[in-house]
């Protein structure tokens, strides 16, 4: 365990909450620092109530004009720099995320905006907003990352992207994988899967696959999964149903498309849910054909629940998959036919994945959020 003398830390990020990938990781780091007695300052739009109640943690709340992350971006940057100057001059450390605040200390990169290409879905206004956000956030990333003393990122894939796309010196980049809460994300106990299905009103005799992700645009690849599901449902041998947990601007449109395609009875749209661990334990597999993922915490959570997870090969977590589970990796997030074939293969051969899946799940569950934070702090201290 790393022993450090209490000091001041400033963390600059949009949200410190337990939902979402980078938000959950930022929450874990802030909680760990506060638990260790450090003086912790957060510049953020919001933070979880339990976190804010920590006596040595102070939230410097930033307001988003019109509720927009795009309009809030310069406001957060100014607030972060003002506080960073004071904390840095007093010997404290400053941790920013990507381009949200230009400061030359620690940059914790979760998501590289230049690779999250805008898609063509939605209204003209939404498409313009997406392209403007892409340009501004990519530009901000480049400026902030180039001035960082050290960059910590979530996977080797991100490290290579930083070197290839932004020309960052690889000696300045360190990788720390996300942790987990092994008591929350765990395999189902005996009889628990059936009890959860009864609770949700889901059938006991049909395989269920879970998509968990935002439906505001096409980054998570739900359009590819939907087209694959149309293909599968035309096959009388395909008996599985799809469970969709997530919300966004395109949710109603997908419901209408399911009705039009005649597969509404085979897709259960749940909207936003806070009981994702139970959803995973009630289902049989997880599918997320994302076009870009810096890591994919939700995929790790599904695996921790003992469920096979189909994820794009370019997602950060894919580099951790053992050889025996490589068939679960999706080579092309735009190829619905290939995805349908992979799901058929799993459906017909699910037993062959059981042993390597159990071992991989145990491996992922062995690394907690506190251990992640300890590794992060060791890197920060080593960097000086």
Q: What is the pLDDT of residues 84-122, one digit of tens each?
A: 999 999 999 999 999 999 999 999 999 999 998 887 677
Does the global pTM surpass 0.75? yes
Q: Which helix (H) or strand (E) holds 287?
A: strand 285-288
- What 3-state DSSP class applies to 381? helix
Where are the CATH 3.40.50.2000 domain residues in the chain? 8-179+367-383, 192-365
Contact 241, 267 (CB under 8 A): yes
Q: What is the Cα–Cα distance from 357 to 307, expressed in whole angstroms?
A: 8
What local confidence, expressed as pLDDT, does residue 3 receive? 40
pLDDT digits (tens, 9 = 90+) for 210-247: 999 999 889 999 999 999 999 999 999 999 999 999 99
Could you give the CA distance from residue 163 to residue 175 in angstroms, rounded to a whole number? 13
Place of tokens 């601007």: 249
CA-nearest of 222, 21, 216, 224 to 133 is 216
H or E stretch at 338: helix 336-349
Please state which CATH number belongs to domain 192-365: 3.40.50.2000
CATH number of 8-179+367-383: 3.40.50.2000
Q: How many CB atoms lie within 10 A of CB 50?
A: 10
Residue 5 pLDDT > 70: no
Sole residue written with tokens 């809030």: 72
pLDDT tens digits, residue range 113-130?
A: 999 888 767 778 888 888
Nearest to 87 by CA among 40, 149, 27: 40
Instruction: Render pLDDT for 335-349 as a digit per residue (tens, 0 to 9).
Output: 999 999 999 999 999
Give the range among 63-67, 295-299, 320-324, 376-380 with minimum mean pLDDT.
63-67
């Amino acid at each position: 365990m790393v022993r450090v003398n209490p000091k001041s830390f400033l963390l600059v990020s949009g949200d410190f909450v337990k939902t979402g990938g980078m938000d959950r990781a930022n929450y874990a780091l802030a909680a760990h620092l506060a638990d260790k007695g450090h003086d912790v300052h957060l510049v953020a739009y919001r933070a979880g109530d339990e976190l804010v109640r920590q006596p040595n943690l102070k939230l410097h709340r930033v307001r988003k004009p019109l509720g927009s992350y795009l309009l809030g971006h310069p406001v957060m940057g100014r607030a972060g720099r003002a506080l960073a100057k004071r904390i840095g001059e007093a010997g404290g450390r400053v941790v920013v995320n990507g381009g949200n605040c230009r400061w030359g200390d620690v940059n914790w990169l979760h998501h590289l905006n230049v690779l999250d290409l805008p898609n063509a879905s939605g209204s003209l206004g939404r498409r313009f907003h997406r392209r403007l956000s892409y340009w501004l956030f990519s530009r901000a990333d480049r400026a902030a990352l180039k001035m960082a003393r050290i960059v910590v990122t979530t996977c080797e894939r991100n490290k290579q992207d930083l070197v290839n796309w932004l020309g960052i010196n690889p000696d300045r980049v360190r990788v720390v994988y996300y942790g987990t809460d092994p008591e929350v994300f765990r395999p189902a106990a005996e009889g628990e899967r059936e009890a959860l299905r009864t609770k949700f009103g889901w059938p006991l005799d049909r395989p269920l696959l879970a998509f968990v992700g935002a439906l505001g645009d096409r980054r998570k690849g739900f359009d590819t999964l939907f087209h694959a599901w149309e293909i599968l449902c035309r096959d009388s041998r395909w008996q599985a149903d799809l469970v969709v947990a997530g919300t966004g601007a395109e949710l109603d449109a997908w419901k209408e498309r399911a009705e039009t395609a005649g597969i509404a009875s085979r897709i259960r749209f749940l909207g936003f849910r806070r009981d994702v661990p139970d959803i995973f334990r009630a289902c049989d597999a997880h599918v997320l054909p994302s076009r870009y993922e810096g890591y994919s915490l939700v995929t790790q959570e599904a695996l921790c629940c003992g469920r096979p997870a189909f994820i794009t090969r370019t997602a950060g977590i894919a580099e951790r998959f053992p050889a025996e589970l490589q068939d679960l990796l999706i080579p092309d997030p735009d190829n619905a036919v290939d995805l349908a074939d992979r799901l058929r293969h799993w459906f017909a051969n699910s037993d062959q994945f059981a042993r390597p899946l159990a071992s991989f799940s145990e491996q992922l569950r062995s690394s907690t959020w506190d251990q992640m934070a300890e590794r992060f702090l060791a890197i920060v201290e080593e960097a000086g």
